[in-house]
Structure 1
Amino acid sequence: MKKIFFYIAAFVPALSMAQTAQPFTIDAKIGKLNTPAKAFLAYRVGGTNITDSATISNGAFKFSGTVAEPANATLFIDYKGVGFAKYVQQNFPDGGPSKTADALTFFVEKGTINIAGADSAKKAVVTGSPVNDDNKKLITLLKPVNDKAQKLMAENKAATDVQKQSADFQNAMQAKFKVLQDEQKNVLRAFIKANPNSYMSLLALGSLGGPSPNPAEIEPVFNSLAQNIQETNLGKSLKSSLTVLKGVSVGSIAPDFTQADVDGKDVSLSSFKGKYVLLDFWASWCGPCRMENPNVVKAYNKYKDKNFTVLGVSLDNENGKSAWLAAIKKDGLTWTQVSDLRYWNNEVAQLYAVQSIPQNFLIDPTGRIIARDLRGADLEAKLLELFGKI
């Protein structure tokens, strides 16, 4: 919620380049810069990362290239002329920009795009581009929600360690964030409805779905988009991914799998048939997962004698087994845990189209998925509905 995140790239496969590439030109003017300052443009076409450079003369520089459809890009200004690799190393040490970084994120698309800034790239204005114009509209519409989210994150950050380990505190914070997420979804739905011909609506649809999209929610909105938007590479990929996601949606039979537990013994999901199973994806390195664990522990201890259990699937890596085992012990996770220690390439995570954690699926005794993404109070409410008060 800190920024507007478009999750669409997280759950669609690498885009094919079936569409014809169209030329683009970027005419830029940033102050009165000259050599050794240099400009770099980084963007992605299909599965290829592209980095281009341009010399700067009296603040002016130009880029050109081709894209089949709009692509997210970043413009960097290297004031000292140290080169792209060293510039990124110095200004993006943790993946995010440092105070010294001067970068502008925008979209490249066919046609001529103008960028003008009085003294820096990050404060520059982008004109002449329909997709960037629509992006500005959406950012403005989402600003009230994002402002509230930043305040809420500050509140969470200021909490004591005791509060952060408290299930009640985490449930309260989850409830507040859920309100904001619902607000965000309402803004996104309204934007998409008002702009069915905009490529930005396709990107907004990814944010509407979030990191674990629900096909029943997303598909009708996708179908409301203009036909030419649906038939873009990104649109076709999204449609294909929705078909995959339907296989692990509520109402579907949970795909069976076998994976090794902490002792190296193979465990199958089907061996739990006849019980309610919370299939819980997490990892020792995942902060939100560790914060959610007290809720799962509370639910397990309360309902474990009611034909309910938890099966944990860890996305730890091959060098993280000791951290995985330590986290299990520290967090009191006494249920069965499995992992192939392949990080995001975990076979079960891929089978269930898991692109973010924590994430879970509640499976009934017949093996059917009856709920998913139950966190905090939502997990307690669903189990209470199933088992009644204890």
Structure 2
Amino acid sequence: MKSFTQKSFPSDWKATLLSTLTIIACVGTLSAQPDEPRVTRYNGKVSQQFVMNKETPIIDHSTGKRISYATYDELLTKNPGKYKTQPIFDKYGKPSSFEVIKKSQLMIQSDGSVMQNPDLMPEIGEPIAPFVMTGLDGKEYNSEKLKGKYILLGFWVKFEKPLYTLASTKVISSFIDGNRQKGVEIVSLGTTLNTEDECLDAIPKRNCGFVPVPDSYGFNHRYKISETPYFILIDRKGIIKAMAPHTEFSKISELVLR
């Protein structure tokens, strides 16, 4: 995120924040099991811009409480270069508020980008934070309404090579289809930076194993996903049952679901 200091700005002032996420990755092609298709992890960073104004809720990370714009402005003015402002993503995957946080509490790289802290990711055995996603099929997927079903959340950057390939989707579709044949239905969703039109162009007619969710990369931020592709399996009660990067998908696919 790019911190900034405001002084004499007009009443309709808007600040644009540049969010840079560096995703932990391994360079090259990896495979966890000899019999699994070989897939790749993303190695790089993603930059997005978000806009806030004086009416946007601002949270002081140290207290967890909302502060006024005047207090926020004073904090940055008196402490130049010590704080960063970053978006907080809601259950819709949108930046509905922002938080101001000391740089010393962030994993900041030499180029100024901020890495997601893997220690802040959800954990197995915990309830999944609520989400409401709209799939490419036009349907709404609400985590609260999906209780009673298994859910597989797949976190991607974009549906394009070298990540999105026949090999990378085959392990997913095989897992979904195999369980369906046993009478276990799994709602499978995939987040992406791609727009709806880009998804329609990128997703082939073959079964990719999930419903794409256009313009949904905010969920990668919401769940602190530090590498992609990455997967979270949620049980019928909304509890996280398993988590794994694509290269270790067998941690999920080998589970016996009932």
Question: How does the TM-score come out when normalised to structure 2?
Answer: 0.51
Higher helix share: 1
Unmatched tracts of structure 1, length 5 or more = 1-12, 18-46, 48-148, 158-167, 178-231
CA distance in 2, matches of 1:170, 1:330: 25
- Cα offset for 1:331? 4.3
1:280 is paired with a residue of what secondary structure? strand
1:260–1:338: 8 Å Cα contact kept in structure 2?
A: yes
Given the alignment, which residue of 182, 191, 200 partners 1:325? 200
Cα gap change, 1:326 to 1:169, in 2 (>3 Å): farther
Cα gap change, 1:253 to 1:381, in 2 (>3 Å): closer
Supply the AA of the counterpart residue of 2:249.
Answer: L
Supply the AA of the counterpart residue of 1:300.
Answer: I
Aligned to 1:347: 218
Deviations for 1:35-74, whole angstroms, at most 9, x for unmatched residues?
A: xxxxxxxxxxxx8xxxxxxxxxxxxxxxxxxxxxxxxxxx
Supply the AA of the counterpart residue of 2:190.
Answer: V
Aligned to 1:309: 186
Cα gap change, 1:357 to 1:297, in 2 (>3 Å): same
Aligned to 2:134: 260
Supply the AA of the counterpart residue of 1:312.
Answer: L
Unmatched tracts of structure 2, length 5 or more = 6-17, 19-25, 42-101, 109-115
Structure with bigger RCO (C-alpha 8 Å, 6+ apart): 2
Alignment of 1:41-120 (within 5 A): none
- Cα offset for 1:256? 1.4
Aligned to 1:269: 143
2:193 is paired with a residue of what secondary structure? coil
CA distance in 2, matches of 1:352, 1:312: 14
CA distance in 2, matches of 1:260, 1:370: 23
- Cα offset for 1:306? 4.0
Cα gap change, 1:242 to 1:281, in 2 (>3 Å): closer
- Cα offset for 1:332? 1.2
Structure 1: 4+ residue segments shifted above 4 A: 13-17, 241-244
Given the alignment, which residue of 106, 113, 131 partners 1:237? 106
- Cα offset for 1:385? 3.3
Question: How does the TM-score come out when normalised to structure 1?
Answer: 0.35
Given the alignment, which residue of 222, 238, 249 partners 1:379? 249
CA distance in 1, matches of 2:230, 2:252: 15
Deviations for 1:303-332, whole angstroms, at most 9, x for unmatched residues?
A: 1244341422331333xx333124333441
Aligned to 2:228: 357
Deviations for 1:250-294, whole angstroms, at most 9, x for unmatched residues?
A: 222111111222143322123321222211122312522334111
Supply the AA of the counterpart residue of 2:169.
Answer: N
Aligned to 1:367: 238
Deviations for 1:213-271, whole angstroms, at most 9, x for unmatched residues?
A: xxxxxxxxxxxxxxxxxxx944x2249x759815x222221111112221433221233
CA distance in 1, matches of 2:243, 2:253: 12
CA distance in 2, matches of 1:238, 1:370: 28
Higher strand share: 2
CA RMSD of aligned residues (A): 4.1
CA distance in 1, matches of 2:200, 2:118: 36
Aligned to 1:300: 176
Supply the AA of the counterpart residue of 1:237.
Answer: L
CA distance in 2, matches of 1:261, 1:323: 13
CA distance in 2, matches of 1:337, 1:243: 24
Aligned to 1:288: 163
2:236 is paired with a residue of what secondary structure? coil
CA distance in 2, matches of 1:360, 1:250: 12
